[in-house]
Amino acid sequence: MAREIAEELDHDMLAVDFLRRPDGSLGILEMSAVVRVYAPRQLEVDGVAGAYEFDKRGSYEFRPGEVWPQELALAEFFERRWIRARRDHGGG
């Protein structure tokens, strides 16, 4: 759901916090384009640093390695808004 919200709002990186209501539905508590990550090892799974990657099949897969979300967001921004646009329109 958070990914759909980010795409609908045309954001390259968006943190969405939810609360589950008593009836089981989700409500948005807050959204932020700023993610407080101060070290590339803040996400660990079984002691291994990494990040979850959304793949072409539509699922998430854990990829080991040190990650800066800000760097990934910047790469996605350039890919979506500059590189792909220039490639699709025959730019150099």
Q: Which residue intervals of 10-83 are DSSP H helices?
A: 69-78
Q: Which whole number is the average pLDDT over 13-27? A: 91
Q: Mean pLDDT: which of 31-40, 48-57, 79-88 is highest?
A: 48-57
Higher pLDDT, 82 or 31: 31
Which pLDDT score, from 0 to 100, does residue 92 have?
55
Antiparallel, parallel or unpaired: β 48-54 and 60-64: antiparallel
- pTM value is 0.55
Query: Quick check: helix, strand or coil at residue 86?
Result: helix
Which pLDDT score, from 0 to 100, does residue 19 have?
94
Side chain identity at 78, as an amino acid letter?
F
The owner of tokens 């500059």 is 82
